Structure 1
């Protein structure tokens, strides 16, 4: 509910900056699959961990490690715009910005 709702403005901002106009739908659906994929992973793994000798506490430790790794990856790889990212080529940048107005590129 509340946690997912706070992600939606971020998904919109990232999509507007990083996706070409023809890829907006695919980009947004890819970014929002985290809710479904996380449950597919978390439920069976958590059940196994709870019934193992590691106990229920290991569920929190595992999820903390996964979240920390995702945070570190996001911190080092993400920039607010593709213009400032060192791994985006001029060709990719032209494809992303194709058809966007000058105002939306700021």
Structure 2
């Protein structure tokens, strides 16, 4: 009988202590209007940043920056050549040899 009493007390103590170890259910909190608006704005902002990053990556893939530098270099070379020719012609027009 003593053994039965001891076992009953131990089981009762374990049952009571086990109840304190229960994990409380986490309920989903209702979002207010401001938090919904904030979440929506954040999602649009993230989507815009991702889209812009994608466009930049595709532009870099086309190597447009390198092509623009080459075009600038070629254009300045040609313009400086023709500017020198025009300068020589103007010099000879205004300072003719006498």
Superposed pair shares fold, TM > 0.5: no
Larger Rg: 2
Higher RCO, Cα 8 Å, sep 6+: 1
TM-score with structure 1 setting the length: 0.27
Whose helix proportion is higher, 1 or 2? 2
